[in-house]
Structure 1
Amino acid sequence: MAMSENTKPGLFVGLLVVVCVVITVSIIVTRDPVPQPEPLFSQPYEYVCQDVTGSGPRCVKVVRTDDSNGTSLNVCKLTCGERRLIWPYPVSVEGMGTEMSRFIPINVMYGDISSHSTQIQDFIKENWEAFKGNLEMIHPDYVTNGVGEWTTSDTYNKFKVYVNFIIKTGVSTISRTTIESYSLNISSTAERSTVTIEAITYFGARHGLETFSQLLNYDAENNCLQMINSLGRIYDEPFFRHRGLSLDTSRNYIPVKSIKKTIDAMAANKLNYFHWHITDTHSFPFKMESWPQMHEYGAYSPRQVYSHKDVSEIVRYGNVRGVKVYPELDSPAHIGNGWQWGPTQELGTLAVCVNQEPWQSYCVEPPCGQLNIANPRIYDVLASVYKELADAFSPVQYFHFGGDEVSIDCWNSSAEIRDWMSAKYDNVTKDSYFDEWANFHSRSMEIFENVTGITDVKGILWTSSLTEAGMAAKYLDPEKFIIQIWTYQNNNDSLGDVEDIASKGFELIITNADAWYLDCGVGAWVGNGFNWCSPYKPWQTVYDNNPLLMVSPEYRDKIIGGEAALWTEQADAQTLDSKLWPRGAALAERLWSNPNGTWADAELRMILHRQRLVERGIAAERLQPQWCFENEGLCYIL
């Protein structure tokens, strides 16, 4: 308490002593016990591994007898036949045993990693935590309420599982040349199992750990985990080096946590490229520091933006999980909201026909917009965007420049562009606009290299009018650009264009819309009927789509891989998982293994793998009734 200036010490006639008596009160807090599940009843069934139809061994459900061994469905899934659990299927599997080791997650540990660099050690530790989290989520009660008592068996409680990593190099960033091969073997005693994963790079070892996670499952009878306890050797490496998903976050904003979850699912399937279509005419959600007007005008809301920190965090998150994240700034078309502010800063008009109506006259879907090629200041702004994207996505090896669906009608709607073209060309034709379109891409690449200092970047462009009928080599440099193919595999004219592009030396990424567009097959979002790329692409179509069939054998070395694309006119975080998975898994096996067989050969593993994704918290689309899962091979049509 403060004393006023009129308070005088003489007024105090005595000293008041206040004695504080401290009383200790013991409060006993009682908590309700954690609810445990009802005791499990025993079913009168078991499973035997038989080749009933002559098409290979299956887990067959039979009634138990007094002298049966009571093999559970999960044990049968682990032990029945050569092609058992692994997705995508590896190059070779030798000496896989049929006996089980049983253990609890706390007793799974990795061996000495001190010989590796600090960065690789950190990567191993982070990936290990994700792996251990997946082990816990296999427990049915853990999934529902975060608890679940493991086995009371003293033997299983004490059993140890050791995972040893032998990594021969210190490569810490995934790139075009990263070696992703690995080998894996398992040996066991009565007290322990030893898993050895050997790889040239950390990324191969990460794939090996993923494969090991698929060699185990939950043992309901003993309430613990179980794993194959002997394995001679798995050797594995990818068929294609580029195995990706393309996700659009402009039409609808996708939160950071949902992107990370998608990367987790990609890692579970050994996909290695996340193509981030981060902007479009609809919105510009990348938070610019040099030109904040971009996101101020272009983001749906202040909360629906990606900061540099967000992007860098996602890039690192992906790298640890073997997924390279790279950006797309689609241009010169697909540019609109976020570019309207030029006149306010005396830069002039940066984009034309933005949100112009009727939209059908100027673009393929609303809203419209394209860069103003007559205004040289667009390159000043692009330089800043390129620099900031390159910094956020560092290290950059691919930069997608978009380049599709340019509308000459949009450009012609601008008097500024018409006058500029007339002054530059004696006779303005469609070819004149093609020349300017091509000049734009060449100049964009040059500016990107200059402002970022990255001279070995590969630009990627979608197929477009600029790549048709022998024009790709006329307008574009195959040393600078990769062409991403979205045209149809079942269209002879399109195949002719793809063959021509490959013959001119361009590397190709295949994303043909008739198989790998994952937004197809729903109701139209403009008008009625179905959307433009219907029908729906089921996992069987995704699986059977062989990228090599897009060109003749002599040019197949130009196909570096493929991507499935999800355009988000009718997708957001609420539907993302079911749109991508398990069809993304079908893509993954096609690109990792490029199997000779068809989807029918993979069906049993696909149904099982979908269950595995769900156990990990991925809301993958249901493919069949549970009955089909428990009665293998009986859900068929003649």
Structure 2
Amino acid sequence: MEPSPRGEAVLTETPADQVGPEWTPALGAASPTLMYDRTSVEKTWKTRIMRRNFIIGAFILVVVAAVSSVITFTLVAPRPSLPVGCDASMLLGTDVQVPVAALKYMCTDNQCVQLNLTKDERTKASTTTGPGIISLRVCEMTCGNGSMLPMPQSVAFSNPTTVPVDIESFSHSITGNIENNDLVKAMQAAFASALAMRSHLALGGTSTSGKSVKIVATIQSPITKLTLDTDEAYEMSIADTTVTIRAATVYGYRHALASLLQLVDWCDLTRTFRMVAAVSIKDKPAYKHRGIMVDVARNFIPMPIIERLVRTMGMHKLNVLHLHFTDSSSFPLEIRGEPRFNQYGLYQSNMVYTQARVKDLVTFAKAHGVKVIPEIDAPAHAGAGWQWGPEFGLGELTLCWANTPWMAHCLEAPCGQLNPLNDNVFDLLDVVWKEIGAMFDSDVFHLGGDEVFFDCWIDSPVVAEKVLNKTNHAEYVAIWAGFQERVQNKLWARDPSKKITLWSSDLTSAPYFSQLPTDKVTVQTWNMLWMNEPRLFTDAGYHYIASFQEAHYLDCGLNGVARKDNGWCAPYKTWQTIYDQPFNPNVTAENNHLVLGGELVLWTEVTGASALEDKIWPRASAFAERAWTNPSLNWSNAMDRMTIAAHRVVESGSAADMLQPLWCRQHPGECTLLLK
């Protein structure tokens, strides 16, 4: 016997005087005879039986796998994972009979305490509710300070009662000059869509018809452009099924709707959606600029995921999505006036943000109270998309492009830094500014400006010949400042009102930042400790945005890019670190007005589309409360609400990491070790 190419056993022709696997008949030898051997035959039949059983087993496995794949495709929702409390409804449908839960909750000492339902209460639960029969979700809405996040500046519950409502019967009535505005209609549609997402919680359907809710709003200003000066404040009160909103602008109105969403939830005891019946809220943001920056150049992030991020940002009253569109690795933003940016700068042809799609994003974001700020990084972090200059007679547009070893000319592969002395660079940038102006309606444009690596310019003859002393740092900063001035002037020639943001760098440090106008340039500082930048900038009269790598960099502590480590900015930034970090460390009281707010930052060297949301949420929920409320208490005050917020993100259709086992939400305060 010997194995066949398929791995099965076969009879082997063997001469009577030769037995063994090594034997091979010599050339010209007599034909071998078939040797009968009882042991061999028994082995052969055993092998055939095993083969048959194997085939039958494999067939069964294939059938089971096929059926399982159909069931999985039919029953299991794609990522993000199933929302809390909706697993059974996703698997069983909405027409199943669901047993009444045996647990109720009571608000005791500002916490929801789990209790067993009595037999009589279980009988009545499907038709009755009251202070003694409430579910966890209903208890959370009104117990203590409630479950809202970010917490409003002022919230007062008149009593803890709730009313059953029909989530498909919310009507809107608006007074003011903006009554029929398309943006208002889009905001109302987004609100209705968010309510509709709750329907999966109603496993088995609702037991009774809820009441209709009337939203009566007054919006004072017809202005719809979201700027740093936009008034986002609102007041809201609920009396039974009437919601009254007063806001200066559509954005305050939208924020009120976002708060209202957190005051409506599902009660699995009474099988109804319920809304808080009596509450008064006065609210406004602590900071004007409350954002998230996402790098979409190092790894491409598809637009549907960006839109989902925007939607979840709106839930948290975050108002800025800063997109780092270009870097030395790719140029994915469509520029029609110069197609070579994309021809030479795309990873692949479908990894592009078309102008039509970008405009749709801007419109979509406004309906969620979010402004999209584009960043085209320059002069550093500019390689792919710029490397075609010599071929077309425009000279070196980018220097040090993809040089190896890259460590000599940049901080990360591939290298690439714009040629500050090539006039064609500025003409091409002007093409970019023109088209960006048509795509975005932001009052702010981000010019990047970080991590200029002087060794790249030192080793480039076109730059070196302009420098008197190669070791004189100030000469290279002067070249950089000249580049920056020309770029700014090109931009302001098109729109004199446009504000510019730059990353903190050598150019924004003393004494060089004096060349940047304080009334038009904002610094986004990523260093809290180094050179005490927050105090430095505000003392010099500059506005700044806090993006401290010590607290706000979401990619820290995950993985090294070029070596075995946890990344340059380790450790991982926990939500507690983010929550407790003020935006204005060491800033004097008289200069606090110069602190515009903050941004979380996610560079995507080690992040792809599939993991983007998990790395942002719920850490961004903690950031949202710091940016909107600026609480005086530390993270421990937000622990239970943060757990709820993480579940709320997933229930909205996005993805988020969990902070605790679900048991901990059901037993508030019992999982947290607080070191006072």
**TM-score of the alignment, normalized to the shorter chain, above 0.5:** yes
Which residue of structure 2 lines up, in the alignment, with residue 131 of structure 1? 191
Aligned to 1:59, what secondary structure does the other structure show? strand
Which residue of structure 1 lines up, in the alignment, with residue 82 of structure 2? none
Q: Distance in 2 between matches of 1:75 and 1:339?
A: 57
Which residue of structure 2 lines up, in the alignment, with residue 471 of structure 1? 512
The structure with the largest alpha-carbon Rg is 2
Matched, 1:196 2:196: no
CA-to-aligned-CA distance 1:287-329 (integer Å, 9 cap, x gap): 1111100011001111111111111111111112111111111
Q: Distance in 2 between matches of 1:455 and 1:516?
A: 31
Percentage identity across aligned positions?
35
Counterpart of 1:125, as a letter, is K
CA gap 1:61/1:364 in 2 versus in 1, 3 angstroms: same
Counterpart of 1:517, as a letter, is Y
Which of 39, 56, 63 does residue 116 from structure 2 map onto?
63
Question: Within 5 Å, which residues of 2 pair with 1:82-161?
Answer: 83-111=145-173, 116=178, 118=180, 120=181, 122-140=182-200, 150-153=205-208, 156-157=209-210, 159-161=211-213
Which of 298, 308, 313 does residue 360 from structure 2 map onto?
313
Contact 2:177-2:222 at 8 Å conserved across structures: no
Which residue of structure 2 lines up, in the alignment, with residue 327 of structure 1? 374
Which residue of structure 1 lines up, in the alignment, with residue 497 of structure 2? 456
What is the CA distance between 1:388 and its match in structure 2? 1.1
Contact 2:96-2:204 at 8 Å conserved across structures: no
Counterpart of 1:99, as a letter, is T
Which residue of structure 2 lines up, in the alignment, with residue 535 of structure 1? 571
CA gap 1:141/1:94 in 2 versus in 1, 3 angstroms: closer
Q: Distance in 2 between matches of 1:242 and 1:220?
A: 39
Contact 1:45-1:70 at 8 Å conserved across structures: no
Which of 306, 329, 336 does residue 282 from structure 1 map onto?
329
Matched, 1:385 2:432: yes
Q: Distance in 2 between matches of 1:440 and 1:89?
A: 44
Which of 220, 226, 229 does residue 174 from structure 1 map onto?
226
What is the CA distance between 1:402 and its match in structure 2? 0.8
Which residue of structure 2 lines up, in the alignment, with residue 374 of structure 1? 421
Aligned to 1:125, what secondary structure does the other structure show? helix
Aligned to 2:285, what secondary structure does the other structure show? coil
Contact 2:399-2:456 at 8 Å conserved across structures: yes
What are the ranges of 5 or more consecutive residues in structure 1 without an aligned counterpart? 1-33, 52-56, 143-147
Contact 1:126-1:320 at 8 Å conserved across structures: yes
CA gap 1:100/1:511 in 2 versus in 1, 3 angstroms: same
Contact 2:95-2:205 at 8 Å conserved across structures: no
CA gap 1:238/1:339 in 2 versus in 1, 3 angstroms: same
Moved more, 310-319 or 249-258: 310-319
Which of 186, 192, 206 does residue 254 from structure 2 map onto?
206
Contact 1:104-1:150 at 8 Å conserved across structures: no
Counterpart of 1:76, as a letter, is C
Q: Distance in 2 between matches of 1:387 and 1:339?
A: 18
Which residue of structure 1 lines up, in the alignment, with residue 459 of structure 2? 413
Which of 385, 399, 414 does residue 445 from structure 2 map onto?
399
- Name the Cα RMSD after superposition: 1.9
Q: Distance in 2 between matches of 1:418 and 1:470?
A: 23
Contact 1:166-1:199 at 8 Å conserved across structures: yes
CA-to-aligned-CA distance 1:549-586 (integer Å, 9 cap, x gap): 14233322211111010101111220111011111111
Contact 2:232-2:251 at 8 Å conserved across structures: yes
CA gap 1:513/1:444 in 2 versus in 1, 3 angstroms: same
Q: Distance in 1 between matches of 2:643 and 2:535?
A: 36
What is the CA distance between 1:160 and its match in structure 2? 1.1
Q: Distance in 2 between matches of 1:79 and 1:449?
A: 51
CA-to-aligned-CA distance 1:319-353 (integer Å, 9 cap, x gap): 12111111111111011011011122211110000
Aligned to 1:516, what secondary structure does the other structure show? coil
Matched, 1:626 2:674: no
Q: Distance in 1 between matches of 2:174 and 2:627?
A: 33
CA-to-aligned-CA distance 1:437-461 (integer Å, 9 cap, x gap): 01111111001122x2x10111111
Matched residues, number: 574
CA-to-aligned-CA distance 1:26-80 (integer Å, 9 cap, x gap): xxxxxxxx944642223432211112xxxxx111112334676332212211221
Which residue of structure 2 lines up, in the alignment, with residue 431 of structure 1? 474
Moved more, 593-602 or 92-101: 92-101
Q: Distance in 2 between matches of 1:150 and 1:201?
A: 37
CA-to-aligned-CA distance 1:130-164 (integer Å, 9 cap, x gap): 2222222223357xxxxx663242xx34x211111
Q: Distance in 2 between matches of 1:365 and 1:428?
A: 23
CA-to-aligned-CA distance 1:505-545 (integer Å, 9 cap, x gap): 11011100010001111121211121111111111111101
CA gap 1:426/1:574 in 2 versus in 1, 3 angstroms: closer
What is the CA distance between 1:426 and its match in structure 2? 7.5
Which residue of structure 2 lines up, in the alignment, with residue 482 of structure 1? 522
Aligned to 1:180, what secondary structure does the other structure show? coil
CA-to-aligned-CA distance 1:462-492 (integer Å, 9 cap, x gap): 111222344322x3221221111001x3x3x
Contact 1:510-1:561 at 8 Å conserved across structures: yes
Matched, 1:580 2:626: no
Aligned to 2:551, what secondary structure does the other structure show? helix
CA gap 1:298/1:437 in 2 versus in 1, 3 angstroms: same
Which residue of structure 2 lines up, in the alignment, with residue 18 of structure 1? none
Counterpart of 1:482, as a letter, is T
Contact 2:177-2:221 at 8 Å conserved across structures: no
CA gap 1:228/1:35 in 2 versus in 1, 3 angstroms: closer
What are the ranges of 5 or more consecutive residues in structure 2 without an aligned counterpart? 1-91, 122-131
Matched, 1:566 2:593: no
Which of 503, 515, 535 does residue 551 from structure 2 map onto?
515
What is the CA distance between 1:115 and its match in structure 2? 5.5
Q: Distance in 2 between matches of 1:108 and 1:177?
A: 31
Contact 1:470-1:500 at 8 Å conserved across structures: no
Q: Distance in 2 between matches of 1:538 and 1:428?
A: 41
What is the CA distance between 1:97 and its match in structure 2? 2.5
Q: Distance in 2 between matches of 1:288 and 1:503?
A: 39
Contact 1:315-1:324 at 8 Å conserved across structures: yes
Contact 1:543-1:598 at 8 Å conserved across structures: yes
Q: Distance in 1 between matches of 2:664 and 2:337?
A: 56
Q: Distance in 2 between matches of 1:460 and 1:48?
A: 50
Q: Distance in 2 between matches of 1:479 and 1:115?
A: 32
Q: Distance in 2 between matches of 1:107 and 1:501?
A: 51
Which residue of structure 1 lines up, in the alignment, with residue 99 of structure 2? 41
Aligned to 2:168, what secondary structure does the other structure show? helix
Q: Distance in 1 between matches of 2:201 and 2:228?
A: 42
Counterpart of 1:480, as a letter, is K
Which residue of structure 2 lines up, in the alignment, with residue 31 of structure 1? none
Which residue of structure 1 lines up, in the alignment, with residue 54 of structure 2? none
Aligned to 1:160, what secondary structure does the other structure show? strand
Counterpart of 1:75, as a letter, is V
Matched, 1:613 2:644: no
Aligned to 1:313, what secondary structure does the other structure show? helix
Which of 493, 497, 506 does residue 542 from structure 2 map onto?
506
Which of 470, 484, 493 does residue 441 from structure 1 map onto?
484
Which of 639, 645, 664 does residue 603 from structure 1 map onto?
639
Moved more, 348-357 or 410-419: 410-419
Counterpart of 2:486, as a letter, is R
Counterpart of 2:492, as a letter, is E
Which residue of structure 2 lines up, in the alignment, with residue 14 of structure 1? none
